[in-house]
């Protein structure tokens, strides 16, 4: 990973963490509303979503709204020793367990596996420290989402507060993958 991206990652994380919780909550509610207003949301049979932690855009209301709408919800589980994620359907958040990166993940249960490549009517909600107007993201540096998005047939939507929306990241690498849509509290790109 290049030094420019490392510095950008640190700056974006510090800015996001410094945003007051009340301000984040207002923006996150608007992001969720815009996300659920997308035609891709309406068409989605499955919502592939991350479970937010820390100062990330809050996804719990999105997950709950998907359940209410009768959609299947799947969360990622990182495969140790690789850049692969496996998606598992969840019906509640109480049964999640801490994964190797310290985030809550679904149990490694083959009965709950979802094949996102066999589900074209899928919407993937993608986290990021920042996104640019072309849909490229600055993530945490693991490469999991870049690997996943490489041949994902559904619609990918990055969610980010406008303060972390950049005109251009500038340090995009060959393996980086753009999302189809970027959803902010005040616009969809």
Provide Rg for the chain, Cα atoms. 16
Which DSSP helix (H) or strand (E) runs through 165? strand 165-166
- Kindly tell me if the per-residue pLDDT of 146 is higher than 80: yes
pLDDT digits (tens, 9 = 90+) for 21-34: 999 999 999 999 99
What's the token pair of residue 22?
Answer: 């009340």
Residues 6+ apart with CB under 8 A from 155: 38, 40, 44, 122, 123, 124, 180, 181
pLDDT digits (tens, 9 = 90+) for 105-117: 999 999 999 999 9
Residues 6+ apart with CB under 8 A from 34: 183, 184, 185, 187, 188
pTM to 2 decimal places: 0.95
Confidence of residue 174 (pLDDT cuts 50, 70, 90): low
What's the token pair of residue 102?
Answer: 């310290």
């Amino acid at each position: 990973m290049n030094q420019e991206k490392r510095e950008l990652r640190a700056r974006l994380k510090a800015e996001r963490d410094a945003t007051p919780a009340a301000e984040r909550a207002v923006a996150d509610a608007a992001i969720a509303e815009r996300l659920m207003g997308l035609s891709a949301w309406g068409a989605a049979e499955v919502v592939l979503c991350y479970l937010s932690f820390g100062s990330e855009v809050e996804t719990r209301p999105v997950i709950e709204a998907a359940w209410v709408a009768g959609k299947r919800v799947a969360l990622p589980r990182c495969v140790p020793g690789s850049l692969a994620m496996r998606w598992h359907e969840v019906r509640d958040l109480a049964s999640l367990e801490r994964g190797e990166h310290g985030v809550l993940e679904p149990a490694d249960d083959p009965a709950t596996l979802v094949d996102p490549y066999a589900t074209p009517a899928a919407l993937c909600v993608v986290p990021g420290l920042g996104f640019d107007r072309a849909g490229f993201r600055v993530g945490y540096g693991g490469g999991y989402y870049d690997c996943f998005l490489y041949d994902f047939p559904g619609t990918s939507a990055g969610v980010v507060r406008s303060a972390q929306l950049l005109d251009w990241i500038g340090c995009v690498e060959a393996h980086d993958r753009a999302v189809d849509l970027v959803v902010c509290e005040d616009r969809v790109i």
